[in-house]
Structure formats: C-alpha cells, structure tokens
C-alpha cells in the first residue's frame, strides 16, 4: 500500500468508527446506548444512573419524582415538634437511590410502575418514621420522616448469639435508627458489610447521615432476606413468580408480599390488624399525592398480607433476623 491509500483507508476507518459512536447516542442526547448480546444497555451522561444497565434506558427517579413531591409526602417533618428536624431531605434520597437505580430500583417498568415503587418504598419508610397520631394537624399520614431514631430504647439490642460474626462494640447501642429502622448488632453488622461502612462499631452513623440511612433502607428493600427468596423489590415490581406453595399460602406479587418479607408475623397473616393497616394507609396516601391514585394499588389480597402465609415462619432462622426489625 502506498501512503495515499493508507491514509484513505485510515479516513474511512475513522469515519465508520465515529458513525458507530454516533449510532450509540440515544435520541434524547442525555443517554449513551449500546447493544450487548441483543440486549439494550444505557448509561446516563449526568451522574444519576451513570452505569451501563438496561434500567438506565428508563427515566431516572428524579425524572419521575421531584423535590416538590418529596416535600408533599413528608410535609410535617421539619415542624418544630418533629424529632429529626433538618435531617431528612430529597437530595439524600436521590443520592442514595442512585446506587440502586442501575439494579432496577425506581427504574423498572414504565413511569407508572416507577412511581408506584417509590410510593411503596416510601410508604414503608413513612409508616416506620411517623410521629402522626389521630388528631395531628394535617392528619396522621402527613408525619412521615418525623423520627430518625428510636427515642426511648428499652435495651441496647446486643444479641450474644451472633458474638463471633457480629460482636457488639463496647458502649455501642443498637437501637432502631434509619428510614427502615435497623435494630440489633447482627442487622447493623449485615447492613454495614453490604454498604462497606463500619456500622457494627459505629451504628450512630445512621442517625448522623441521611444518605446512609436511605441507602441502608433501599439495600434492605432490594436484597432478599434469605438466599433463594425474592426481595421486597422483586415481589413488588413483578420479578418474582410464585411457586405452587406460594399460591397455596396466598402469597401473590404486590405490596402485601413486601410487608410479608420485611416484617413477617408482626404484620401478616393476622387479618386486617393495625400495624399492617398503618403501612398500607401510608402507601395509599402517597399514591394519591403522587397523582397515581390509590385505585392503582390493586385488590385487597394484592395490597395487604392479611390472609397470607409467611415467607419466613417464626421458627425459621431467616425470620429471626427479619422479625427483629
Ligand atoms: C424500563 O425497563 C423495563 C425493564 O425492567 C422494560 O421492560 C421497560 O420497557 C423499560 N421502559 C422504558 C420506557 O424503557
Ligand atoms: C454520608 O454517607 C454517604 C454514603 O455512605 C457518604 O458518601 C458520605 O460521605 C457521608 N457523609 C458524611 C458527612 O459522612
Ligand atoms: C412446599 O411446602 C411443603 C410443605 O410445607 C414443603 O415440604 C416443601 O418443601 C415446599 N416446597 C418448596 C419447593 O418450597
């Protein structure tokens, strides 16, 4: 080849390379797109959902859930009588969620499913952190994110059974903290391991850092309690297909099954009891506020776990860890 032909060849090669790169741009200009083994993967150019994933082809959480909506859902959290004034904010939630968006948290399905999952997750959070009561201004459901910790712990939640894997640090108190409150040394230990933060020695980090508190909560939502089981995320968005046993025990995909996984017998299989109704009410209230509408929550047997058999009956080892929270 002479010099001319070489350079012509190089020009063609460069041209076709840039064409390839161009065709990898998505139409909105904010997303890189590629195909791997026939699967479409995307990566956003902004910081959110900035990891190659099929879920990053969808809108991000901050696209479908904005700061005014967060303020609406948790409208009383910064009133002077609240117990965690100034702690919780939208930004912390979005930063925490970002790690899990490429895995499908708040990015699965179309916009309606995304908003429903946000309402479901925050419904749990709101009901576990509320200081609302019957006559509270704005109604009892307006007081989510009022707490970031248990106020009068009756013990330090150190279980010696786990002293080899998760030994309690001297002086550390493992009372409830966070958005889906964590209790007990072994639960702090497990969350810390997953998040690569030393929560066993520093459980207090959770009540000092809202991003970390939301991270731990989303991690719990998207991680199965037990190997081989679905996560709350999975049963909610429909990743999970019930087995024959599940069907016999009336476990169906939906919000009810998320309570079954997260709280077991504290909440489920006992009819329409208050602890269950309180969580359900927060979820429905948020669906309304987000403009999705509570009628999208589905029928009673999907929405609640009143009649469901437990994923983890009280005598199973996995139930010990989950029922503590
Ligand atoms: C979002 O992701 C899901 C995969 O969970 C996919 O089925 C759906 O089509 C995507 N939605 C959009 C709008 O791309
Ligand atoms: C809070 O937690 C996040 C997530 O673990 C971390 O990135 C950040 O540095 C923490 N902030 C402070 C002030 O420690
Ligand atoms: C179904 O339930 C029965 C009775 O509880 C149990 O023995 C069996 O192992 C279960 N099967 C599966 C696949 O979980």
Give tens-digit pLDDT for 18-77.
Answer: 444 444 444 578 899 999 999 999 999 999 999 999 999 999 999 999 999 999 999 999
Q: Whose CA is nearest to atom 1 of ligand 3?
A: 245
Span 225-254, pLDDT tens digits: 899 999 999 999 999 999 999 999 999 999
Q: Determine whether 158 is exposed, middle or buried from the number of CB atoms within 10 Å of its CB (0-12, 13-18, 19+).
A: middle
Give the separation between CA 225 and CA 205, rounded to whole angstroms: 23
Q: Does position 102 have pLDDT exceeding 90, yes or no? A: yes
- The answer to whether 292 and 65 are in contact (CB under 8 A) is no
End-to-end CA distance of the chain: 73
Long-range interactions of 2-8: CB distance < 8 A, separation 24+: none
Instruction: Please tell me the distance between residue 129's alpha carbon and the centre of ligand 3 in angstroms.
Output: 36
pLDDT of 138 reads 87
pLDDT in tens, 260-310: 999 999 999 999 999 999 999 999 999 999 999 999 999 999 999 999 999
Residue 150: what pLDDT? 93
**Cα–Cα separations (whole angstroms), residue 164 to 21, 167, 175, 189:** 53, 6, 20, 11
CB of 245 closer than 6 angstroms to any ligand 3 atom: yes
Is residue 243 lining ligand 3, measured as CB closer than 6 Å? Answer: yes
Mean per-residue pLDDT, 71-87: 95
Number of H helices, E strands in the chain: 14, 2
Over residues 145-162, the mean pLDDT reads 92
Give me ligand 3 centre to Cα 90, in Å. 43
More confident residue, 322 or 149: 149
pLDDT over threshold 80, residue 113:
yes
Which residue's entry shows tokens 């024959």? 244
């Amino acid at each position: 080849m002479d010099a001319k032909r070489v350079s012509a060849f190089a020009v063609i090669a460069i041209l076709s390379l840039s064409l390839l790169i161009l065709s990898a741009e998505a139409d909105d200009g904010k997303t890189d797109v590629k195909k791997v083994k026939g699967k479409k993967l995307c990566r956003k150019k902004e910081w959110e959902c900035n990891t190659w994933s099929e879920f990053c082809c969808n809108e991000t959480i901050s696209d479908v859930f904005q700061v005014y909506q967060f303020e609406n859902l948790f409208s009383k959290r910064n009133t002077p009588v609240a117990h965690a004034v100034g702690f919780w904010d939208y930004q912390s939630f979005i930063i925490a969620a970002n790690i899990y968006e490429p895995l499908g948290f708040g990015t699965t399905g179309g916009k309606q499913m995304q908003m429903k999952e946000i309402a479901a997750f925050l419904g749990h959070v709101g009901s576990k952190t509320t200081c609302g009561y019957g006559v509270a201004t704005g109604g009892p459901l307006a007081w989510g994110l009022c707490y970031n910790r248990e106020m009068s712990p009756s013990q330090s939640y150190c279980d010696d059974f786990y002293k080899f894997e998760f030994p309690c640090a001297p002086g550390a108190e493992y009372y409830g903290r966070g958005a889906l409150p964590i209790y007990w040394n072994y639960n702090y230990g497990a969350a810390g391991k997953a998040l690569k933060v030393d929560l066993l020695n520093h459980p207090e980090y959770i009540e000092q850092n809202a991003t970390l508190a939301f991270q731990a909560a989303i991690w719990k939502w998207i991680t199965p309690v037990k190997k081989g089981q679905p996560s709350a995320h999975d049963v909610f968005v429909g990743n999970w297909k019930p087995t024959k046993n599940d069907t016999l025990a009336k476990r169906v995909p939906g919000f009810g099954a998320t309570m079954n996984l997260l709280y077991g017998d504290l909440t489920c299989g006992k009819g329409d009891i208050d602890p269950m109704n309180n969580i359900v009410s927060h979820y429905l209230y948020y669906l309304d506020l987000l403009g999705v509408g509570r009628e999208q929550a589905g029928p009673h047997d999907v929405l609640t776990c009143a009649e469901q058999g437990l994923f983890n009956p009280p005598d199973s080892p996995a139930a010990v860890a989950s029922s503590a929270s």
